[in-house]
Amino acid sequence: MSDDTNNITPQASYGFDPTYGFSLEQLLSVEAPPEPKDFTAFWEKRYQHALTIAPMPVIQSTDLTHPDWLVFTIQYTSTEHFIIRGWLLLPKHTAIERGFIIGHGYGGRDGPDFHLPFNNAALLFPCFRGLSLSTKQGISREAYWHVRHDIDKVERYILGGCVDDIWLGSSCLLTLFPHLAGRLGYLGISFGGGLGALALAFDKRLARGHINVPTFGHHPLRLKLPTQGSASSLQQYYFTHKKQTLQTLRYYDAAIAAQYITQPMHCACAKFDPCVTPPGQFAIYNAITSAKQLFILDAGHHQYPRQAMQNADLLDELATFFAPLTSTTQHTLT
């Protein structure tokens, strides 16, 4: 792709340069930060606990109609007895041959996406704990406060619970459709992208993953570079709680987790992003050692001239990337 970043920069008035002066070559050389010695033990313990939870999915029909999809609301139980709510799309005209969990950004989710190129799949759209349909008293639905929730407690930090919600999403789909074992994929953008890297590193039931402008990559850098969004909230908290913030966030670094991803991965990373620093995004991609593909976006979290074209090209790539999940055995929901 040609470098159109310079055509984007004059449109922005953020008070800082959302490229941070990084060339593509420099972005592709950003390494993950050092990891805690017990990083994998910390996450393996969480994952094994998540596997003991029965998701107990409940689906209900809705008034939403679509020519290609049956639209349901769904809820399932995650860790700490948290009820996760969202939507489930099932194909009207084809067999259910694969399944996807689709994570959302920090703006939350107000409905399912109908544009994804997976017409033979069960599509699960969970709302992560505390957000959108999965709100709960005591947890702010605002990204500014949500990203700080229980940050003073390493084991209970909200991001860990959100990763659990993805793992229980896998359990939910496999409870409803046992034949999809080995045929689950994950897609997540921004907030959901960073969570996805953390989840995929330890849940091998997810056979392939796509993360788009993923956040939570290389926290030491994210805490230093000027930014907007949830990272700005973390920076403000870090200013008065440096040791505590670093002690927690080093366990929730998507770039560190990415080193343990073994599944094939597709990543969309932006060279210009005022909310999720590009070096943090690329640190995640660079850390992945499994088979991987990179789609370079001109910008993230910002409107730009080639956006519609790049989104269309990206969907084409995703259709091809996730094609191996398709099975030859036909099943329907019973």
3-state SS track over the chain? CCCCHHHHHHHCCCCCCCCCCCCHHHHCCCCCCCCCCCHHHHHHHHHHHHHCCCCCCEEEECCCCCCCEEEEEEEEECHHHCEEEEEEEEECCCCCCEEEEEECCCCCCCCCCCCCCCCCEEEEEECCCCCHHHCCCCCCCCHHHHCCCCCCCCCCCHHHHHHHHHHHHHHHHHHHCHHHCCCEEEEEECHHHHHHHHHHCCCCCEEEEEEECCCCCCHHHHCCCCCCCHHHHHHHHHHHCHHHHHHHHCCCCHHHHHCCCCCCEEEEEECCCCCCCHHHHHHHHHHCCCCEEEEEECCCCCCCCCHHHHHHHHHHHHHHHCHHHCCCCCCCCC
> Once rounded to an integer, what is the mean pLDDT over residues 189-210?
98
- Whether 250 shows a pLDDT value over 60: the answer reads yes
> Once rounded to an integer, what is the mean pLDDT over residues 123-135?
98
pLDDT in tens, 251-275: 999 999 999 999 999 999 999 999 9
> Once rounded to an integer, what is the mean pLDDT over residues 80-102?
97
Q: At what angle do helices 230-240 and 242-249 cross, to 10 degrees?
A: 130
- Whether 248 shows a pLDDT value over 70: the answer reads yes
pLDDT in tens, 156-190: 999 999 999 999 999 999 999 999 999 999 999 99
pLDDT, position 2: 39
- Whether 13 shows a pLDDT value over 90: the answer reads no
pLDDT in tens, 216-227: 999 999 999 999
What structural domains does the chain harbor? 5-325 (3.40.50.1820)
